Structure 1
């Protein structure tokens, strides 16, 4: 059925492009084979309306012209056509510097669907990019983007299509869900979190929503709106943070504990707290982000009431945010303790990457344009270019072979051949021109380009000019570019992190060895390593260096803000295995796995299964009488971790979003960790 739908859409597209005066509905029903087979007039009408919307979403402007000025609303008398040239890529040319940042932006996404949109956009722009030198080596600096939240893609779609949305939202300081109706103006990231900004139809005011607090599926309605003139998501993100006063919270930490919090602290008073605990003064921007870090440290860290030199209301707010996370973690761990997992019950991951009709048609059109520009291209090389198998490419060529102009006589069909292992196409001139970007494709690439502005020294003229040209390639005068945003990870990067970044980048570029002192949060200890850096990359908020660790004799990823000191240790060794390992796999935070754990995640934390490379997943139901929680959609994932402490830290960092179902000894350690962390706040949690 999917292949038939794609074939129908392609035949409709060819018909609308090939005839300048267009076709009436009745003529199209006769001209497009699948329409002629419609069971009824109503069935044809529904199919035709869906197909028109699909083609318009793909960037083909279908014109409707009334032939009877006395009855302009009688659609049966309309003619439909797509003027030649109306969908082609506008004249533009990218410089070598712009081409380089485009490649980085297109490969920034770790999400398969968004990454494919960005790479499809890059392939469409190739005629304007020109020939690039082939280099299989990984880039020395690569930002990466991950949109964990299930609401990201429907909201991005609503932003670019100017459609109203509806969703259930969890307030920051309560567990109360409210249904919100929004006209989304823009979407962007700040400090590793995604936000949508728009007009709240119920509050009748502009509002900012954090995507991780959207608990339901996002319903995209048919109601359209006009965003305010001059809206800029980057300005909205800057305003959101710049209005917040500089704030500091006091935290008590057991001596030698909470090394990451100590690195964040602006002041440290050893032994100044009760029982000789250290008093830390931690600056922060957003309470909830700070609460994640404190809760992740687990037992041995307490946010005291009052605080020394801190406003009592601010201290109470931070304390309450930490308690809420710890209490939610304790509740969900108890609720899912011993839950049975049936691995034969497929999770939503099984259908996640199903190819849609629109995606399949886009691929067919790309194949036509590519082969027209490279007649005789090798079959295997062409399949590799589009990320498909040889058999899938042959199936696509067979689909093209049965499509063509109305009449569908042999001389009207697309001619495709590949018998000698080389691909040739003809009789598809109408589809061979480079086509402009769709708004989803441009948006995915623009978010990647905006993210390059977070790279130290990355807010360059090349990035700015590439953003303007990509927006123009979508037929956009700047509105689309302003609707997506990504501000720098920090407004004023800490000098220590700047120094580490500069030293690491220099070592990568000059192939130098480094000696580093590194905090391992899962063990709460400081280690010393000697490494050969290969690549610097980011994962949303954090920057990492991918390096060959001499002690481990393997590739490892080190988060830069966890490096307490770094020094040059001479020339890097010749390690072909390190280069091969860096090029073979996409960088991802993590370390070798030694403990296999069954995690249960809700819809907010499903991304963990992908981020930590789950080997198995399955849908799972909460135990009877336990309640589904605010997010629901639970999924079990079998994941390997370096230490049990790393699992414990995840439980409290994302309090209430995930639990451990096994093995039993890990469940017991997690329960002890969570309850011990909660113990100092027992008065706060009393009923």
Structure 2
């Protein structure tokens, strides 16, 4: 059925492109084989309307022209056509620097569907790029993007299509669940969190929503709207952060503990006597982000009621946020400890979405354009280019072979041959021109480009010009770039991080060895390492260096904002075979596993299974069990961690979103950690 749908769409496209005066609906029903087989007029009408929408979403502007000016609303008298040239890529030329950043942006997404959109955009731009880079040569610097939240893709679609949405939202301070109706103007990220900004139809005002607090599926309605002229997602997010009042909170920390919080502090007051705690003064912009960091530090820190000079309301606000997070974590830990997991009940990770008709048609059209430009390309090379098997490519060529202009006589069909292991296509001239980027394709590529602007100390001139050209390739005058936060930003990295990034990048490029002092949050420990760095990469807004650690004799990833100092240590050593093999594998944040833990996650934290490379996942249904609002069934994930402390910090950081089901000794340690952290807030005595 899927193949027949793709054939129908392709035959309709060829018909609309090949005849300048177009076709009426009645003529199309006769000209397109699948339409002629429709059981009724109503079935044909529904099919035709769906197909028109699919082709328009793929970037083909279908014109509807009334033949009778006296009855312009009579659609049965309309002629439909796609003017030749209306869908082709505008004249573009990318410089070598722009081509390089485009390749980085296209490969930034770790999500399969968004990554495919970005790579499809890159393939469409290839004629203007002058060839794609060699995938076998990993870049020395590579940003990566992950949209953990299930709401990201439907919201991105609604933003680019200007459609109203509806979802259930968990309020930041009250944990109250409400249904919100929104006209989404833009989507973007700041400090590791994704946000959508738009017009709240019930509050009659603009609002910003954090995607991690959206607790239901996002319903995209058919109601369209016009976004405000001049809207900029970057300006909206920068306003949210930069115009917040200068705020500071006081935090008490055990001597020698809370090393990450100490790095964030603007001022520290050491303990006056033995048994007392140090006082840290920490500046912050968003309460919940700071509360995550404090909660993750566990029993080693507490937010006192007395801020010692800080604003009482701010002190109380942060303290309440931490207590709420720890309380939710304690409740979840108690509820899920020891819960049985049936690993035969597979989670959504065990199912793979079938290729949609639109995606299949898009791939067929890409194959036509590629082969037309590379007649005689090897079958194996062509299949590899599109990420499919030889058999899948042959099936696609067979589909092309039975499609063509209305009449479908032998001289009207696409001619495809591959008998000698080389692919040739002809009689498809109408489909061989490079096509404009669709808005979803351009959006995925633009968000990837935006991540390159956040490289500390990076030069964004090539990125800025690439963004402008990509927006133009989608037929966009800047509205789309503004909506997905791909316009210039004013945020600047901390000088210390910029210095670390510059030194590390130079070491990667010049193959130098470096000595670093590194904070290990899971052990709350400052360590010294000597490493040979091979690549700098990012995961959303956090930047890492991938390096061969001489102490561990293995490849490790170090987060740059956790490096307290870095210095040159001479030329890098010769890479042994094990190091070469490890360097060739894809980078991913994390460290070697030593403790296997069964985590139970709710809808908000299911991304953890992907981020931490779960080896098994399963659905956990708990009728009558604890649920947060409209959260869906929980899932279990078997994940390896380097230390139990890392598990503890994860549970308190995302209070209430996840818990440990087993093994029991790990669950007991996590429960003790959470309750010990919470007990400091349940007593009138301060440390």
What secondary structure is seen at the aligned counterpart in 1 of 2:280?
strand
Distance, in Å, in 1 between the alignment partners of 2:41 and 2:375 is 42
TM-superposed CA distance for 1:397, in Å, is 1.2
Cα shift readout 1:444-486 (whole Å, capped 9, x = no counterpart)? 1111112211112335221111111111100111111111116
2:215·2:629 contact (CA, 8 Å) conserved in 1? no
Distance, in Å, in 1 between the alignment partners of 2:343 and 2:488 is 42
1:339·1:622 contact (CA, 8 Å) conserved in 2? no
Distance, in Å, in 1 between the alignment partners of 2:261 and 2:673 is 18
Asked whether 1:489 is paired with 2:496, we answer no
TM-superposed CA distance for 1:309, in Å, is 1.6
1:189·1:486 contact (CA, 8 Å) conserved in 2? no
Distance, in Å, in 1 between the alignment partners of 2:130 and 2:578 is 31
Distance, in Å, in 2 between the alignment partners of 1:508 and 1:621 is 48
TM-superposed CA distance for 1:134, in Å, is 4.1
Asked whether 1:304 is paired with 2:312, we answer no
2:216·2:630 contact (CA, 8 Å) conserved in 1? no
TM-superposed CA distance for 1:195, in Å, is 0.9
Distance, in Å, in 1 between the alignment partners of 2:302 and 2:662 is 28
Change (3 A) 1:591 1:295: same
Distance, in Å, in 1 between the alignment partners of 2:567 and 2:159 is 46
Aligned to 1:655: 655
Q: For the aligned residues, what is the CA RMSD? A: 2.1
Number of residue pairs matched by the alignment: 687
2:622·2:633 contact (CA, 8 Å) conserved in 1? no
2:404·2:414 contact (CA, 8 Å) conserved in 1? yes
Q: Which moved more, 1:520-529 or 1:436-445?
A: 520-529
Asked whether 1:264 is paired with 2:254, we answer no
What secondary structure is seen at the aligned counterpart in 1 of 2:323?
helix
Distance, in Å, in 1 between the alignment partners of 2:233 and 2:206 is 13
TM-superposed CA distance for 1:62, in Å, is 0.5
TM-superposed CA distance for 1:239, in Å, is 1.0
Change (3 A) 1:627 1:215: closer
Change (3 A) 1:127 1:19: same
TM-superposed CA distance for 1:583, in Å, is 5.4
What secondary structure is seen at the aligned counterpart in 1 of 2:299?
coil
1:165·1:184 contact (CA, 8 Å) conserved in 2? yes
Cα shift readout 1:601-651 (whole Å, capped 9, x = no counterpart)? 111111111111111111111254444655224211111111111111110
TM-superposed CA distance for 1:33, in Å, is 1.5
What secondary structure is seen at the aligned counterpart in 1 of 2:567?
strand
Aligned to 2:680: 680
2:680·2:686 contact (CA, 8 Å) conserved in 1? no
Aligned to 1:204: 204
Distance, in Å, in 1 between the alignment partners of 2:487 and 2:105 is 15
What secondary structure is seen at the aligned counterpart in 1 of 2:603?
coil
TM-superposed CA distance for 1:147, in Å, is 0.9
Cα shift readout 1:529-587 (whole Å, capped 9, x = no counterpart)? 11000111111121110001111111110011111221111100121647744653322
Cα shift readout 1:125-176 (whole Å, capped 9, x = no counterpart)? 0001113664732211112111111111111111111111111111110111
Distance, in Å, in 1 between the alignment partners of 2:271 and 2:623 is 45
Q: How does 1:447-526 map to 2 (within 5 A)?
A: 447-458=447-458, 460-485=460-485, 491-526=491-526
Cα shift readout 1:268-320 (whole Å, capped 9, x = no counterpart)? 11114994111111111111000000000111210000211211110000001
1:192·1:489 contact (CA, 8 Å) conserved in 2? no
Cα shift readout 1:69-98 (whole Å, capped 9, x = no counterpart)? 222111111111111111000111111111
What is the TM-score when the length of structure 2 is the normalising length? Answer: 0.97
Distance, in Å, in 1 between the alignment partners of 2:591 and 2:479 is 42
TM-superposed CA distance for 1:488, in Å, is 9.1
Distance, in Å, in 2 between the alignment partners of 1:486 and 1:57 is 22
2:238·2:490 contact (CA, 8 Å) conserved in 1? no
Distance, in Å, in 2 between the alignment partners of 1:447 and 1:327 is 36
Distance, in Å, in 1 between the alignment partners of 2:586 and 2:47 is 41
Distance, in Å, in 2 between the alignment partners of 1:438 and 1:333 is 45
Cα shift readout 1:423-443 (whole Å, capped 9, x = no counterpart)? 111111111100000000001
TM-superposed CA distance for 1:502, in Å, is 1.6
1:252·1:273 contact (CA, 8 Å) conserved in 2? no
Distance, in Å, in 1 between the alignment partners of 2:487 and 2:551 is 37
Cα shift readout 1:243-291 (whole Å, capped 9, x = no counterpart)? 1112111111111111111111111111149941111111111110000
Q: Which moved more, 1:372-381 or 1:454-463?
A: 454-463
Change (3 A) 1:272 1:298: same
In structure 1, runs of 5+ residues without a counterpart are: none
2:16·2:22 contact (CA, 8 Å) conserved in 1? yes
1:548·1:578 contact (CA, 8 Å) conserved in 2? no
Distance, in Å, in 2 between the alignment partners of 1:684 and 1:674 is 19
What secondary structure is seen at the aligned counterpart in 1 of 2:395?
helix
2:543·2:561 contact (CA, 8 Å) conserved in 1? yes
TM-superposed CA distance for 1:13, in Å, is 0.8
What secondary structure is seen at the aligned counterpart in 2 of 1:529?
strand
Change (3 A) 1:193 1:272: farther
Cα shift readout 1:206-244 (whole Å, capped 9, x = no counterpart)? 111111111111111111111111111111111111111
TM-superposed CA distance for 1:686, in Å, is 17
Change (3 A) 1:685 1:29: farther
1:159·1:185 contact (CA, 8 Å) conserved in 2? yes
TM-superposed CA distance for 1:498, in Å, is 2.2
Distance, in Å, in 1 between the alignment partners of 2:171 and 2:75 is 47
Q: Which moved more, 1:618-627 or 1:233-242?
A: 618-627
Distance, in Å, in 1 between the alignment partners of 2:4 and 2:649 is 50
TM-superposed CA distance for 1:415, in Å, is 1.3
What secondary structure is seen at the aligned counterpart in 2 of 1:276?
coil
TM-superposed CA distance for 1:391, in Å, is 1.4
1:471·1:478 contact (CA, 8 Å) conserved in 2? yes
Change (3 A) 1:309 1:354: farther
Change (3 A) 1:180 1:442: same
Cα shift readout 1:340-399 (whole Å, capped 9, x = no counterpart)? 222221211233543211111111110110011001111111111111111111111111
Change (3 A) 1:397 1:579: farther
Distance, in Å, in 2 between the alignment partners of 1:161 and 1:633 is 30
1:23·1:79 contact (CA, 8 Å) conserved in 2? yes
Change (3 A) 1:393 1:246: same
Distance, in Å, in 1 between the alignment partners of 2:434 and 2:579 is 36
Distance, in Å, in 2 between the alignment partners of 1:56 and 1:351 is 29
2:534·2:583 contact (CA, 8 Å) conserved in 1? no
In structure 2, runs of 5+ residues without a counterpart are: none
1:136·1:583 contact (CA, 8 Å) conserved in 2? no
